[in-house]
Structure 1
């Protein structure tokens, strides 16, 4: 077991199984490795059953606290897909950037707090040097399947 996997295990975190999406017209990969760059498609929250229960807009059907937890769950889903693709999370030398989208009502301005859920998982797992990343967080009117949070990222391989 690698260092990152061990840290997750020590925290009692079990990475979720792959999320099964409805068939789309194109087979878009969750993780695309180009040289030392790891481009990570937009991920939503998952859990041990593969599907996260909170659905809707933050500030209406979903609270800011629930959305923060959804962002944490999104990190676990992303880490699970990275582990499946790379074989070992220790191959990640560092995180480059994160782009978080929050499905929220007009006037909801706590978007960075929501995406902090994702960032905290990455920092906890990879530490302050490897986990450090540039980040943007925006509010949007809708996200696929009614999920409250979607996050894409880029990392770099060792």
Structure 2
């Protein structure tokens, strides 16, 4: 399956890679076939789409869409870094940070938005990583979700 064809079938257009938010590397290849992606937020093409916390300003469904935006940014950076998303052998590990109101405990449900997009685009064998979803008090820029990934490449 061609990843770009699948994106087109799903009517998904990759955004421009987001600018760095500090002094770090967005994607670091290491070993013979691994790539670590720094945490990416919800802003698409420089537009701030979300600001606030789950359980206060946002519902689970809105949080899932915010998580989708994080994955779209990650895919944009991976496309830029690797030159071809078809080089992805599998998504190994996802870490989702969810800015949450004190009594909100559905962080895994929010992360499902990101996992579902990877599943829809890449299929189960490639697209479903091991995953943790962690509730935090606040994220940079007051975004509700930030996601980082570890990817194995061909």
Q: TM-score, normalised to structure 1's length?
A: 0.91
Partners of 2:7 and 2:97 in 1: CA distance: 25
Query: Is 1:45 the counterpart of 2:49 in the alignment?
Result: no
Query: Is 1:145 the counterpart of 2:144 in the alignment?
Result: no
* 2:17–2:80 Cα contact (<8 Å) kept: no
Q: Which residue number corresponds to residue 15 of structure 1?
A: 14
Partners of 2:43 and 2:9 in 1: CA distance: 20
Q: TM-score, normalised to structure 2's length?
A: 0.93
Q: Which residue number corresponds to residue 36 of structure 1?
A: 33
Partners of 2:105 and 2:13 in 1: CA distance: 31
Q: Deviations over 1:9-44 (max 9, x none)?
A: 11111111122355x3x2x12111112011010011
* 2:91–2:152 Cα contact (<8 Å) kept: yes
SS at match of 2:98: strand
Query: Is 1:55 the counterpart of 2:54 in the alignment?
Result: no
* 1:54–1:148 Cα contact (<8 Å) kept: yes
Contiguous gaps of at least 5 residues in structure 2: none
Contiguous gaps of at least 5 residues in structure 1: none
